[in-house]
Amino acid sequence: MNTDYNLYKIFLYLYEEKSISKTASKLYVSQPAISYSLKELENQLGYTLFYRNSKGIEPTMEAKELYGYISTAFHILNDAEEHIKNLNQLNIGCIRVGVPAMIGGFYLSSIISKFHKDYPGIQFEIISKSSTEMIDMLETRKLDLVIDSFPVTSSKNVTRIPLKKFTNGFVYSKKLGKVSISSLEDLSKYSLLLPNTLSTSRIKLEEYLDDKKIKLTPEVESSPEVMLSMIREGVGIGYLPKEFIENQKDADDFEFVSFEGLPTVDIQCIYLNEFLTAASSKFVQLLKEE
């Protein structure tokens, strides 16, 4: 736009007030200054905008055409300013969070519920994908933050905040019948359900087992949610966080066995500090407090 924003603002007041004196009063400037600005705008546009008469001024046909555009533009700008104010005051907004379904279900849901009570106008968009995909979305600003188990790598200068540690262990349903597990070696007697090979939980488990010279071969490799369903039906023994099991409505139907040194699930929040919105920044603050 080549024309000064203030010239169009004066034009709007002149058009609506039909008076140079009233426009000057509304904008707290002198009448000569208003007349000078009007002349400057007419020179820039190349046509007359108002005719003087005994009652004040009347818009020309060109002014009537121009008013439709300028009025719409100013309304859009006002709406944009109001929208930004609401965003900053946390009246409206959306926080886009990348989180594995398991963590989102038993850890994040209660925190979102607490946040929503204080800021009911803020919506959440929850995305559950692989760690690599979620980090890619964070780096391309399709997500505001990622909550995942450590370690998560990124090529960007991300901020990392440790949140929680969860206890991993071996879980089975009472439907499985009599089970006796006093050592890691005993697990090989049963059908094992383990996390997917490339998951952080599985990688850390394999490192732990290798250190102890123990090899466990699963019959099923799957996501925590599928694993839990199969454990619930008595298919075998799975590997899950204790807190995930305790969060289930039928938690009393499960048995949990852990061993010294088993890797914990270290949950962290990852974000690009310079791109945090007011809403996502407030949510990160709540995560820290929790």
| Range of the structural domain that residue 151 is part of | 93-164+266-289
Q: Does residue 274 share a domain with residue 146?
A: yes
206 & 285 share domain: no
In order, the DSSP letters of 174-211 are: GGG-----SSGGGGGGS-EEEE-TTSHHHHHHHHHHHH
Please name the residue that has the structure tokens 């690599």. 132
- Same domain for 143 and 270? yes
For residue 82, tell me if it sits in a domain. no
Q: Is residue 191 part of a domain?
A: yes
Measured CA distances, 260 to 6, 43, 78, 188, 218 (Å): 71, 83, 62, 18, 21
Compute the residue count for the chain.
290
- Cβ(269)–Cβ(97) under 8 Å? no
Q: 254 and 177, same structural domain?
A: yes
Count CA atoms within 13 Å of residue 14 on its CB side: 30
Last residue of a domain, one of 76, 102, 126: 76
pTM of the model: 0.66
Look-up of token digits 């349903």: 173
Q: Which residues on neighbouring strands pair with residue 122, listed in sequence order? A: 93
CA 11 to chain centroid, in Å, comes to 42
**Structural domain tally of the chain?**
3
- CATH of residue 172's domain is 3.40.190.10
Tally the C-alpha atoms within 13 A of residue 278's C-alpha that lie toward its C-beta.
14
Q: What is the DSSP string of 125-155?
A: EEE---HHHHHHHHHTTS-SEEEEESP---S
> What's residue 80's pLDDT?
78
Does residue 160 sit in the same domain as residue 284? yes
Going residue by residue through the chain, which has 290 residues, state the pLDDT in tens, using 9 for 90 and above.
556 888 999 999 999 899 999 998 988 889 999 999 999 999 999 989 999 888 889 999 999 999 989 988 888 887 777 777 777 777 888 889 999 887 887 788 889 999 999 989 889 999 988 888 888 889 888 899 999 887 777 777 888 999 988 899 999 999 998 889 999 999 999 999 999 888 888 889 999 999 999 999 999 998 888 999 999 999 999 999 998 898 889 999 999 999 999 998 888 999 988 888 888 889 999 998 88
- Cβ-contact 49, 62 below 8 angstroms: yes
Taking Cα atoms as reference points, which of 109, 151, 150 lies closest to residue 126? 109
Q: Are 241 and 285 within one domain?
A: no
Q: Please confirm whether the linkage preceding 100 is cis (ω < 30° from 0).
A: no
Residue 68 lies in a domain: yes
Q: What is the pLDDT of residue 3?
A: 63
DSSP, collapsed to helix, strand or coil, labels residue 115 as helix
107 plus 250 within the same structural domain: no
Single residue among 48, 76, 104 that ends a domain in this structure:
76
Residue 247 included in any domain:
yes
Asked if 166 and 242 touch (Cβ cutoff 8 Å), the reply is yes
Give SS3 for 265: strand
Residue partners of 195: CB distance under 8 A and separation at least 6: 201, 202, 205, 221, 222, 223, 224, 227, 239
Task: Let me know: does 74 contact 8? Beta carbons within 8 Å.
Answer: yes
* 22 assigned to some structural domain: yes
Whether 180 and 251 map to the same domain: the answer is yes
216 and 178 in one domain? Answer: yes
Query: For position 185, what pLDDT does the model report?
Result: 93
Residues 272 and 248 in one domain: no
Whether 179 is in a domain gets the answer: yes
Residue ending a domain, choose from 76, 103, 132: 76
- 131 lies in the same domain as 210: no
Residue 54 confidence (pLDDT)? 81
22 and 60 in a single domain? The answer is yes
